A and B are shown apart, each in its own frame.
Chain A
Amino acid sequence: MNPELTALEKRTLSYLNFRHEASEEQVQMVRKAIDEMKSVARLGFASKFFSLEECPIDLSYKSLSELFTKSGSDSVAFLISTLGQAVDNRIERLSKTDPAKMVLIDAAANAYIEEVTNEFQKRLVLKDQTFRFAPGYGDVPLSMQKQIFEHVPEVRKLGLTLDDGFLMHPFKSMTGIIGFKG
């Protein structure tokens, strides 16, 4: 893929399932979409740390305990990030007016939340951290979100809510569970 592309541009292209070298035109489309998406995004982050022994959130799932054991974790970080409601609104509006652009903005937003969450995670400087796990992976049910929302009350200040299916609103939001040595 084109070497001069930023990580965000590359990720957006890959989320669009693009497998070839992108043409100048396609790169321009992606760049414009990223700019537009960024102009409405309003980033929000929250995190909370617990020692594994005292964590009030039930972590007794096979995939999580294997992960923690393998890396020798004794603590866990919960990390929540969001791009804010306006990105969702923009995508919803475009679905009615300009579906092609909707697809671009949606991919750009998905790539952006991933990138900014990576950046945020880096800043926490967690020692010997595991990869970023999330509810819904492996045997961990999505319903764990409810516990996370209860025990990380800061998420409310980010404007995040859960619906009955445990999906987060705004959509462009992420939850991460990371084991580390505290």
Chain B
Amino acid sequence: MAKRDIRELLGKEFIVFDGGFGSQLQERGVPAGTNSGEINIDRAELVKAIHKDYINAGSKVVVTNTFGADRFHIADTNELKTQIKAACRNAREAVEESGKDVYVFYDMAPTGKLLKPLGDLDFEDAVDCFKEQVLLSKDTVDGFIIETMTDLHEVKAAILAVKENTDKPLFCSVTFQENQKMLTGASPEQAVALMEGLGVDMLGINCSLGPAELEPVIMRMLKTARLPLLVQPNAGLPKFRNGETYYDVGAEEFSDYIRRFAQAGISGFGGCCGTTPAHIRACCEKTADLEVVYEPAEEVTRVCGTTTLVEFRNRVIRCGERLNPTGKKKMKLALAEGRLYDIVDEGIAQVEAGADVLDVNVGVPGIDETSVMTELITNLQEVIDLPLQIDSSNPETLEKACRIYNGLPLINSVNGKKEVMDAVFPIVKKYGGTVIGLCIDEDGIPPTAEQRFAIAERIVAEAAKYGIPKKRIVIDSLVLTASAQQKEVIETAKCVGYVTDRLGCATALGLSNVSFGLPNRPLINRTFLVMALYAGLKLPILNPLDKELMGAIDAFEVLNASDENAGDYITRHSNDVVAKPGAAQAADASQAASASSDAELEGKSALFKAIVKGQKHQAVDAVKSMGDMEPLSIVADHLIPALDKVGRDYDKGIIFLPQLMVSAETSKLVFDEIKDKLVSADEGSSKGPVVIATVKNDVHDIGKNIVKVVLQSYGFEVIDLGKDVDPDAVCDACEKYNPIGVGLSALMTTTVVSMENTIKRMKERGISIPVFCGGAVVTEDVVKKIGGDYYGADAMESVRICEVLQERREKETKA
């Protein structure tokens, strides 16, 4: 293996890979569907013959026959080991016997499973699965190609597994559907950003489509890629004949496309499904007279979430600051009690208000910051596709959070202190993130813009030593309080200008500090924001729910000519009503009105009507106008009767489930409005708590979520443990919260067993809290058989059960 490292050839000569393997096996008489892994052992000569055919056709790299050679496809460890070793040996021997200067790459393919939270595979289990393959093959091969990847989170697991275990060259190739997206939704630009961020040596695209359909995707990748690109299309789109798949783009047509791609700038080619040595030979011939035209794209600061890419170009990027417990009692409490879903709600509210990125900070004393942060990130990424900004001063938390994060994170933060840079830069380098650099060092925050700029320069220079380019650093010049350090506020804005113009880095600022201690803080924040934007600020960290602040950005982007033709401004603001002091608020439309006729509602209170009709804003307004009324009588005389009417209508089939739920949500808002007063009026008046969970192995949680909403509407505190919940987690929650009841949900016949196990486990652990069960396959009989106490036929029935349990608990307490 005295060959040159293939990395030296990238972008200089065409890297020619091989073509399809399965079709070659079939051509040699191996029946379709035969386990191609075993062939490495049973028919080694045949496998070698295919490798040699490709070498003779012009392939400079042959890949091992190891597609699907992993623990999820081959459960027996010894068998897996033998197959991988044999596959590597076959490829190596074929190269040696050919006497040609050819590289052997280990072929690493998807696990076929979906990672959490979309599927059930743990990120670290995916990493282990790939690592096992790397360890078995790395001594025999010249490099690795991760290919046919359909999910970027799995790509990340595979890249980490290779890079943590070998320094050998690593190529990574992803696959797209006809809508130019990966299966889990990522765009070509996002795939490029992620693979480059994680430090592969060559990018690739393969499979799924033929060259014609791949062309637009290839062009998009070339436009944004800084690394050389390898292209391996299928021989056309799959066609079906007698239930079998075949491909029909011949060598001539295929190679015409490859020539065109080569002229457009690709640096390597090969073939995927349905391609043959003839295809590869034709491609080599058609490109023989061409030079590689490899031109790296302009470097841009890029971060991504699960399916979104945010690039720092001419637009302002709005970072939501509200996932941070500092100064927020409610969030502190939610973190301390582990109610992460409440925090996710706050995240969603910011997304809907127009945030582009969300800052995530869980720094509360007394909690395990690392485990809460990683869990919260997983929960957030289940429903929020925007990039997240991982905010912690603890390097261990940053490392673990960056690892589990699906995408390229923003990392908040590093600063001019040597010790902090030593701890944080390796994390930034490894996980491909972009880091916020604070202009503070061992001596504190310097007063002048020049001095802060000097720290920014030092941060950029130190990062360069780790191979982190300045485009992966966003400088925060730090905002000081105008009431205390008035003269230094302008220095911050000046420093933003210096960094933008002289250093070429993007800039961030946390705004709200500036107004501390002054009246009408939003006015000061807004004005300072505009000053900083004019100086070049790209990433204001702010409260996206502050409409006027967000509006100031929209207006700035019009005046700064970055919102072309004011398109976004007009979309967002054309319905603005310019507020006049004292003007009444416009009535908002309710989401749904019930089928109840107005006659039935005659003589009822506004609150009663609003709940029955599911008019959220009217209901909140109505309860606000009942200011003097006892909160308990609001509940007893208006809220509960309204809900009971809705419940009756639902039972009779006059209204349907979505309408019941709108009313339930409405009454929950009313409850939230009067909750504080209720607690202070009478400690015992809050109901519950009720613990609910979808049982182990079951990931269908729609039924459980419905029950949650309806229970909450009746004033029950609900502890929602989520889906796929371990029996012991249910027991732990019982011990922690002492609930009045436990609701278990299972949708599948196969998971009713988990329901039974959960009840059994509770009994083993001596927990005697009543259990009610529900779900599509659960019946009264089933509940009896598995040892449950109540059968919750639907959400309304769950309410009736919980009312009984509540009464029972109150009697017990009194006794």
Partner of B702, one of A17, A85, A91, A156: A91
Report yes or no: A100 in contact with B751, Cβ–Cβ below 8 A. Answer: no
B29 interface residue, CB < 8 Å from A?
no
By a CB distance below 8 angstroms, the chain B residues around A22 are 656
Partner of B748, one of A95, A142, A162, A164: A142
Task: Knowing A92-B383, A136-B749, A164-B120, say if A100 contacts B113 (CB, 8 Å).
Answer: no
Nearest A residue to B595 via CB reads: A23
B183 interface residue, CB < 8 Å from A?
yes
Task: Knowing A17-B656, A29-B592, A29-B658, say if A103 contacts B112 (CB, 8 Å).
Answer: no
A174 interface residue, CB < 8 Å from B?
no
Report yes or no: B245 in contact with A154, Cβ–Cβ below 8 A. Answer: yes
A126 interface residue, CB < 8 Å from B?
no
A136 and B614 CA atoms in complex are apart in Å by 39
Give the segment of B77-85, B344-352, B576-584, B629-637 that binds chain A. Answer: B344-352
Task: Knowing A25-B595, A85-B184, say if A99 contacts B661 (CB, 8 Å).
Answer: yes
Partner of B348, one of A96, A162, A166: A96
Report yes or no: A50 in contact with B383, Cβ–Cβ below 8 A. Answer: no
B627 interface residue, CB < 8 Å from A?
no
Within 8 A of B (CB), among A132-152: 136, 142, 149, 151
Report yes or no: B656 in contact with A16, Cβ–Cβ below 8 A. Answer: yes
A25 and B382 CA atoms in complex are apart in Å by 32
**What are the interface flags for B184-196 relative to A under an 8 Å C-beta threshold, 1 for contact and 0 otherwise?**
1100000000000
Within 8 A of A (CB), among B642-664: 653-659, 661-662
B439 interface residue, CB < 8 Å from A?
no
B interface, by DSSP: helix, strand, loop or mixed? loop
Report yes or no: B699 in contact with A167, Cβ–Cβ below 8 A. Answer: yes
Partner of A165, one of B33, B658, B701, B750: B750
By a CB distance below 8 angstroms, the chain A residues around B698 are 165
Nearest A residue to B698 via CB reads: A165
B114 interface residue, CB < 8 Å from A?
yes
Report yes or no: A26 in contact with B595, Cβ–Cβ below 8 A. Answer: yes
A181 interface residue, CB < 8 Å from B?
no
Within 8 A of B (CB), among A47-100: 47-50, 56, 85-86, 88-89, 91-93, 95-100
By a CB distance below 8 angstroms, the chain A residues around B591 are 98, 100-101
By a CB distance below 8 angstroms, the chain B residues around A47 are 243
Task: Knowing A85-B184, A100-B658, A100-B662, say if A25 contacts B208 (CB, 8 Å).
Answer: no
Nearest A residue to B119 via CB reads: A169
A19 and B654 CA atoms in complex are apart in Å by 8
By a CB distance below 8 angstroms, the chain B residues around A151 are 33
CB distance from A82 to the nearest CB of B (A): 10
Report yes or no: B658 in contact with A101, Cβ–Cβ below 8 A. Answer: yes
A166 and B749 CA atoms in complex are apart in Å by 12
B179 interface residue, CB < 8 Å from A?
yes
Q: How many contacts between A and B, using CB within 8 angstroms?
A: 127
By a CB distance below 8 angstroms, the chain B residues around A98 are 591
Q: Give the residue among A85, A106, A154, A164 with the most B Cβ atoms within 10 A.
A: A85
By a CB distance below 8 angstroms, the chain B residues around A103 are 657-658, 661, 702, 706
B697 interface residue, CB < 8 Å from A?
yes
A5 and B119 CA atoms in complex are apart in Å by 36
Nearest B residue to A84 via CB reads: B183
Report yes or no: A163 in contact with B119, Cβ–Cβ below 8 A. Answer: yes
A32 and B238 CA atoms in complex are apart in Å by 35
Report yes or no: B243 in contact with A50, Cβ–Cβ below 8 A. Answer: yes
B665 interface residue, CB < 8 Å from A?
yes
A120 interface residue, CB < 8 Å from B?
no
Nearest B residue to A22 via CB reads: B656
B700 interface residue, CB < 8 Å from A?
yes
A86 and B385 CA atoms in complex are apart in Å by 12
B709 interface residue, CB < 8 Å from A?
yes
Report yes or no: A95 in contact with B701, Cβ–Cβ below 8 A. Answer: yes
B333 interface residue, CB < 8 Å from A?
no
A157 interface residue, CB < 8 Å from B?
yes
By a CB distance below 8 angstroms, the chain B residues around A93 are 348, 383
B118 interface residue, CB < 8 Å from A?
yes
CB distance from B217 to the nearest CB of A (A): 16
Q: What interface size band does chain B fall in?
A: 35 or more
A3 and B35 CA atoms in complex are apart in Å by 53
A85 and B591 CA atoms in complex are apart in Å by 27
**What are the interface flags for B749-760 relative to A under an 8 Å C-beta threshold, 1 for contact and 0 otherwise?**
111000000000
Within 8 A of A (CB), among B101-119: 110, 112-114, 118-119
CB distance from B366 to the nearest CB of A (A): 27
Nearest A residue to B306 via CB reads: A89
By a CB distance below 8 angstroms, the chain A residues around B592 are 25, 29, 100
Report yes or no: B658 in contact with A42, Cβ–Cβ below 8 A. Answer: no
**What are the interface flags for B730-755 relative to A under an 8 Å C-beta threshold, 1 for contact and 0 otherwise?**
00000000000000000011110000
Within 8 A of A (CB), among B138-163: 150
Report yes or no: A95 in contact with B705, Cβ–Cβ below 8 A. Answer: yes
A156 and B184 CA atoms in complex are apart in Å by 13
By a CB distance below 8 angstroms, the chain B residues around A154 are 238, 245
By a CB distance below 8 angstroms, the chain B residues around A18 are 653, 656
A56 and B243 CA atoms in complex are apart in Å by 14
Report yes or no: B185 in contact with A86, Cβ–Cβ below 8 A. Answer: yes
**What are the interface flags for A24-52 relative to B under an 8 Å C-beta threshold, 1 for contact and 0 otherwise?**
01100100000000000010000111100
Task: Knowing A25-B592, A29-B592, A171-B700, say if A99 contacts B119 (CB, 8 Å).
Answer: no
CB distance from B355 to the nearest CB of A (A): 14
A17 and B661 CA atoms in complex are apart in Å by 14
CB distance from A37 to the nearest CB of B (A): 13
Q: Give the residue among A95, A98, A169 with the most B Cβ atoms within 10 A.
A: A95
Task: Knowing A85-B185, A103-B661, say if A157 contacts B208 (CB, 8 Å).
Answer: yes
B336 interface residue, CB < 8 Å from A?
no
A104 interface residue, CB < 8 Å from B?
yes
By a CB distance below 8 angstroms, the chain A residues around B654 are 20
A13 and B655 CA atoms in complex are apart in Å by 11
Nearest A residue to B184 via CB reads: A85
Report yes or no: A106 in contact with B150, Cβ–Cβ below 8 A. Answer: no
Report yes or no: B705 in contact with A25, Cβ–Cβ below 8 A. Answer: no
A121 interface residue, CB < 8 Å from B?
no
A97 and B709 CA atoms in complex are apart in Å by 11
A129 interface residue, CB < 8 Å from B?
no
Task: Knowing A97-B352, A101-B658, A102-B705, say if A159 contacts B183 (CB, 8 Å).
Answer: yes
CB distance from B717 to the nearest CB of A (A): 17
Partner of B697, one of A16, A48, A164: A164
Task: Knowing A156-B112, A159-B183, say if A96 contacts B208 (CB, 8 Å).
Answer: no
A97 and B383 CA atoms in complex are apart in Å by 10
Within 8 A of A (CB), among B559-604: 591-593, 595
B341 interface residue, CB < 8 Å from A?
yes
A175 interface residue, CB < 8 Å from B?
no
By a CB distance below 8 angstroms, the chain B residues around A165 are 120, 697-699, 748, 750-751
By a CB distance below 8 angstroms, the chain B residues around A106 are 702
A106 and B699 CA atoms in complex are apart in Å by 14
A121 and B33 CA atoms in complex are apart in Å by 24
By a CB distance below 8 angstroms, the chain A residues around B242 are 49
By a CB distance below 8 angstroms, the chain B residues around A86 are 185
Report yes or no: B750 in contact with A166, Cβ–Cβ below 8 A. Answer: yes
Nearest A residue to B118 via CB reads: A169
A62 and B414 CA atoms in complex are apart in Å by 65
A157 and B110 CA atoms in complex are apart in Å by 12
A-B contact pairs, 20 of them (CB 8 A): A17-B657, A23-B595, A85-B118, A88-B118, A93-B383, A96-B341, A99-B661, A100-B592, A100-B658, A103-B702, A106-B702, A142-B750, A149-B112, A151-B33, A156-B112, A163-B699, A164-B120, A165-B120, A165-B751, A167-B748
Beyond A29-B658, A154-B238, A167-B748, 14 additional contacts (C-beta under 8 Å) are A19-B653, A26-B656, A26-B659, A42-B177, A56-B33, A95-B702, A95-B705, A96-B344, A97-B348, A100-B662, A101-B658, A166-B750, A167-B699, A169-B119
Interface residues of A (CB under 8 A from B): 13, 16-20, 22-23, 25-26, 29, 42, 47-50, 56, 85-86, 88-89, 91-93, 95-104, 106, 136, 142, 149, 151, 154, 156-157, 159, 161-167, 169, 171
